[in-house]
Structure 1
């Protein structure tokens, strides 16, 4: 029973960390990928590029 609980909590911690990492990456305004720096809208990040285009339309 203890092993099952430990496995459950470990899996939950990993999933929570992955979700947090994905959300932080989605919120960042700068390119954090490897390779040469590219401006927003040209880096092939669908969610981030959509977000920046929506923000540009509002201004």
Structure 2
């Protein structure tokens, strides 16, 4: 009886862990995309400023 309960508990813990891990990865991917966009905008601004500076 005790062994069965322990197994059930472990199953639930693994399920919760999987949900948590999935949410964490989803959030980290979204954060990574946002950081990437910010970096791209900064790089574009720098290149644009350099282009204007050197063209005139």
* Larger RCO, structures 1/2 (Cα 8 Å, 6+ apart): 1
Aligned residues: CA RMSD: 1.3
**Counterpart check, 1:14 vs 2:23:** no
5+ unaligned residues in a row in structure 1: which ranges? 31-39, 41-51, 53-59
Which aligned runs of 4 or more in structure 1 are off by greater than 2 angstroms? none
Q: TM-score, normalised by structure 1?
A: 0.49
List alignment gaps of at least 5 residues for structure 2.
Answer: 1-15, 50-56
How many pairs were matched up?
32
Normalised TM-score (structure 2)? 0.51
